[in-house]
Amino acid sequence: MKFDLLKTDTETKARRGRLHTAHGVVETPVFMPVGTQATVKGMTPEQREALGAEIILSNACDLFVRPGHELIKGQGGLHRFMGWDRPILTDSGGYQVFSLSDLRKIDDDGVRFRSHLDGAPLFLSPEIAVDVQSALGSDVVMVLDDCLAHPASHDDALRSMRRSMEWARRCRTRFDSIEDNPNALFGIVQGSTFPDLRAESADRLIETGFDGYAIGGLAVGEPIPEMYDIVEAQDPLLPPDKPRYLMGVGTPRDLIECVARGVDMFDCVMPTRHARNGWLFTTEGHIVIRHARFRNDESPIDENCECPVCKKYSRAYLRHLYVSKEILSSILNTTHNLFFYLDTMRRIRHFIESERFSELLAAARSSGAQ
Amino acid sequence: MKFDLLKTDTETKARRGRLHTAHGVVETPVFMPVGTQATVKGMTPEQREALGAEIILSNACDLFVRPGHELIKGQGGLHRFMGWDRPILTDSGGYQVFSLSDLRKIDDDGVRFRSHLDGAPLFLSPEIAVDVQSALGSDVVMVLDDCLAHPASHDDALRSMRRSMEWARRCRTRFDSIEDNPNALFGIVQGSTFPDLRAESADRLIETGFDGYAIGGLAVGEPIPEMYDIVEAQDPLLPPDKPRYLMGVGTPRDLIECVARGVDMFDCVMPTRHARNGWLFTTEGHIVIRHARFRNDESPIDENCECPVCKKYSRAYLRHLYVSKEILSSILNTTHNLFFYLDTMRRIRHFIESERFSELLAAARSSGAQ
């Protein structure tokens, strides 16, 4: 994998880049739609492509549990299985296991947990996490990390971070043992909200050496300004010639704020999950489509939006589909919200290119947009 | 509305025709996908068009209850509301009310029933049924009829049929009072399984005069051979220069058998509803995609199918989506099943045109296909 840093903003830390992967090129900053179970919920691959999605995230841990990575490997890999020939980044499973915390047991070897489907005992180690993602044929493999709940004490965060760094090293060793490996491996900076631990984590990862660096352990309940500060403090610690990926973040406003702090890659379930709940993003804040005031509303979700849903359907129709529990409600709402996110990234890239990113940032701040 | 009878098969009663409606031309014999709540479940209008759907059926009674025909009229009519500019036929509501039989009360005036949503009292008369469908802007309006459960006594069937015929006459009067009406009105033959009542019903409808004739009251539990006999007996009773529409039927085999008995139009929830339940049609019978034997199956649903799902996805992937309860499961299964039905109709039309329809019929019979 190769990363070209095309332009760095002079007034902020925003970066315009290009990621070359085994399945094609990704323009950064980029938002990756989440496709947990080998599909982005509610969309066909063709619909995702039409919206301009260049890379998606899938969850290795979910696929490890069902249908199994060996099955997918036997079907020609995840790209072929799900009919998507553009790049895929896979989450290693650390965060997924963390989300099921009452069922997990972590030690230095790895994570023992139970399947959320049938309670079967499962084990994930750094080596297994790499093997699973390699079997899937992921373009960007993430190291297995130990995710802490927020808030954590300095002691707990230190122990957890050091374990994660040792796991990252073991992932690197396993990944490097794969012959003719066309894929990339990203490390994940941990250390909770403690600057000294974040700095040590970054140093240790850089010492091991990765194709990209993720900022993990955020968006777990800490206040947003604190999250922004941690992201900002990360920038000088990470090598400028490698992509930075902020995991699990966030709102459209978060995307702009964190690009301004040097982030190149994002993923979040928010646009797709909110869509299914009828929460729709607009340039003037969100709307909740089930509300009675949209019952007879002939206007589109957002007058300023160029998405195929806004060009064709009224809020009244979308409300009707939502209250009628129609599948098309999820399809159209997901189309709009994902377009909104992908279009936000297109505008971010455009404004960095034309050296006007600060204007976009100022506009986002003054509009009070989420 | 104009109907061109292009060709009549010499060995069977199969007919090749063309329906000219206010929203375009429909080649017959035709299958109409069902879009009850102003959407065909699980598909965008663009996806329906790509599969070759030329006309869809929507249920006036459902839309009357929610969101209301006046609301849809205010939004520019049903075509604009749901983003579908091809023809729409609307079911009057008789069968829908019949399906909710414990809540309805029928007399000569019309049907009193309760909303399945909030229990609100509602009333549908022949005049209101026409007004509702006209407000929607339906290309083909169906008369309101009184649907009987099967089996029914001759007395009950007689009374019900005569009421339906009187209602049909009142619908005609109301429909004709609408100025510059570009749409068509179809009558519905009733009479349960009694040939004398079916004959009287057809005579009375023809006396009133309609743009097309539907065969109603079938597919309500009677044996399939009896249904075929009734359809066959209907043919000489109906004017050859008007389209015949068999309501709510059926399996792919039923389509071929009933085309052979002179039917031009069909609708049925089977392909779409079965799709959501993982029941998929193939040229060699159906498969139930959740079955464990498809867990690792690399082949498509049907090797002989040219649909976009069979060209791209394995049974293993479709099983994974189904057991994972992914929305994409309904989307892809619906795509396949609807293609299967629409392609069956394309083959039927092609074989009638090339004077080989009997071959297709014989092949369907000898294959034992459903």
State the complex-level ipTM.
Answer: 0.95
Predicted local distance difference test score (pLDDT) of residue A50: 96
Cis bond before residue A151 (omega within 30° of 0):
yes
Q: Is the pLDDT of residue B312 over 70?
A: yes
Picking from A14-28, B85-99, B227-241, which range would have the lowest pLDDT averaged per residue? B85-99
The whole-angstrom distance between A274's CA and the closest CA on chain B is: 15
The whole-angstrom distance between B266's CA and the closest CA on chain A is: 23
Residues A275-293 have a mean pLDDT of 96
The residue ranges of DSSP E strands in chain A, in sequence order, are 2-8, 15-21, 24-28, 30-32, 56-59, 88-91, 105-106, 111-114, 121-124, 140-142, 184-189, 212-215, 244-246, 265-267, 279-282, 285-288
As a whole number of angstroms, the distance between CA A88 and CA A136 comes to 10
Q: Which of A9, A91, A146, A264 is catalytic?
A: A91
β-strand A30-32 against A265-267: which pairing, if any?
A: parallel
The whole-angstrom distance between A304's CA and the closest CA on chain B is: 20
Predicted local distance difference test score (pLDDT) of residue B101: 61
| The pTM of the whole model exceeds 0.90 | yes
Judging by beta carbons within 10 Å of its beta carbon (0-12, 13-18, 19+), is residue A123 exposed, middle or buried? Answer: exposed
Band (B291; pLDDT cuts 50, 70, 90): very high
Cβ of B327 and A41 within 8 Å?
yes
B188: β partners: B214
Partners of residue A313 in chain B, C-beta under 8 Å: 83
Predicted local distance difference test score (pLDDT) of residue A368: 72
Band (A207; pLDDT cuts 50, 70, 90): very high
Interface test with A, best of B63, B289, B309, B320 (most A CBs within 10 A): B320
Indicate left, alpha or beta for A194 from its phi (over 0: left) and psi (-120 to 50: alpha).
beta
Predicted local distance difference test score (pLDDT) of residue B278: 98
What length is written for chain B? Answer: 370
Residues A251-256 have a mean pLDDT of 97
Cβ of A331 and B331 within 8 Å?
yes
Partners of residue A71 in chain B, C-beta under 8 Å: 295-296, 316
Picking from A23-37, B116-130, B177-191, B234-248, which range would have the lowest pLDDT averaged per residue? B116-130
Cβ of B37 and A67 within 8 Å?
no
Predicted local distance difference test score (pLDDT) of residue B276: 98
Q: Which of A254, A267, A302, A343 is catalytic?
A: A267
Predicted local distance difference test score (pLDDT) of residue B186: 98
Tens-place pLDDT, residues A33-79 = 999 999 999 999 999 999 999 999 999 999 998 999 999 999 999 99
Predicted local distance difference test score (pLDDT) of residue A71: 97
Amino acid letter, A270:
M
| SS3 label, residue B348 | helix
pLDDT above 70 covers a percentage of chain A that reads 99
Q: In this structure, what DSSP letter does residue B34 have?
A: B
Cβ of A317 and B66 within 8 Å?
no
Cβ of A324 and B37 within 8 Å?
yes
Predicted local distance difference test score (pLDDT) of residue B49: 96
Query: What rounded mean pLDDT belongs to chain B?
Result: 95
Tens-place pLDDT, residues B215-225 = 999 998 899 99
Predicted local distance difference test score (pLDDT) of residue B242: 98
Tens-place pLDDT, residues A102-121 = 678 889 999 998 888 888 89
Q: Is the pLDDT of residue B179 over 80?
A: yes
Band (A101; pLDDT cuts 50, 70, 90): low
CB A15 within 8 A of CB A265: no
Specify the higher pLDDT residue, A127 or A114: A127
Q: How far is CA B161 from CA B152, B188, B221, B233, in A?
A: 11, 10, 18, 17
CB A217 within 8 A of CB A173: no
| SS3 label, residue B342 | helix
Q: How far is CA A158 from CA A102, A199, B191, B202, B237, in A?
A: 22, 11, 82, 85, 87
The kind and range of the H/E element at B32 are strand B30-32
Query: What rounded mean pLDDT belongs to chain A?
Result: 95
Q: How far is CA B325 from CA A41, A169, A275, in A?
A: 10, 37, 17
Q: Is the pLDDT of residue A188 over 80?
A: yes
Band (B149; pLDDT cuts 50, 70, 90): confident
Predicted local distance difference test score (pLDDT) of residue B148: 86
- Catalytic status, residue A267: yes
Tens-place pLDDT, residues A295-350 = 999 999 999 999 999 999 999 999 999 999 999 999 999 999 999 999 999 999 99
What is the sign of the dihedral through the CA atoms of B281, B282, B286 and B287? negative
pLDDT above 90 covers a percentage of chain A that reads 89
Predicted local distance difference test score (pLDDT) of residue A317: 98
